[in-house]
Amino acid sequence: MAMRAMRPALLCASLVLAGCVQTTNVTQGSTEVPVRTAAEIAGDADRRAAVRLELAAGYFSRGQFDTALEELRLALAAKPDLGAAFNLRGLVYAAMGEEREADDSFARALALNPRDADAMHNRGWFNCQRGRYDEADRLFEQALALPQYRDQARTLAAQGLCHARAGKLELAEQKLQRAFEFDPTNPNTAYNLAEVLYRRNDLERARFYIRRINDNDSLSNAQTLWLATKIEQRAGNRLGVELFGRQLRARFPQSAQALSYERGRFDD
């Protein structure tokens, strides 16, 4: 049996010299097969992982959680230290109600990258939804303290909503006001700020923020019209109550808010 011949390759003067990279071609019969470097192999793994991660994000956004988890498994098989994959896996498990797996995934993401503000935000909101308000606030503050973090409006809004859930309305107003200043076009921030101001009986300011939404039919909904109705009812403005109540019944007649209006249950 003929032995395979190897074409002579240049040798490094010393094996420890970094930067001495040589690609060797192995001859099999008349065909040359290039030997790939470690950097090339790692680059391929990174690309495969990135593609799988993007697919997983798409499946997650469409509610196809099992498929998203499979894509994440493949992404981590290609690149086991991909923190973004663990972060997204935490979101998927949280959406599925798998609390232990979600928390573990967020913890893995932060262990791999302790300065991952996105993972801090997601784990903070995960904790807030489960009533762990102090832990949530700590994570939000850590994310906001990072100098290069560019999504402060999102985290401030989540932190404000979390304070509102905890009954800390003054802190909630402060955080939501800052979030609004960063991004005054976000209807969710405007709505949550209006609701906090309503709960604090600051009705004129609550009117201002809810009006920004209700003046745009593409943004207003049963919730925003109902909050405007409750603000006017508390302010003693009967005409305002009737105005928003009519809109609520005309546009969203089957909604729970329209039913509450019909029954005069303004505290719902």
Number of H helices, E strands in the chain: 13, 2
Q: What integer pLDDT is reported at residue 85 of this predicted model?
A: 98
Cα distance between residue 124 and residue 159, in whole Å: 8
Q: What integer pLDDT is reported at residue 35 of this predicted model?
A: 54
Are the C-beta atoms of residues 166 and 133 closer than 8 Å to each other?
A: yes
pLDDT in tens, the chain (268 residues): 444 443 333 333 332 323 333 444 444 455 554 555 655 555 688 999 999 999 999 999 999 999 999 999 999 999 999 999 999 999 999 999 999 999 999 999 999 999 999 999 999 999 999 999 999 999 999 999 999 899 999 999 999 999 999 999 999 999 999 999 999 999 999 999 999 999 999 999 999 999 999 999 999 999 999 999 999 999 999 999 999 999 999 999 999 999 999 999 998 8
Domain ranges in the chain are 203-268
Strands (E) located in the chain: 25-28, 31-34
**C-alpha distances in angstroms, 148 versus 17, 118, 121, 122?**
36, 12, 14, 17
Cα distance between residue 56 and residue 51, in whole Å: 9
Q: What integer pLDDT is reported at residue 198 of this predicted model?
A: 98
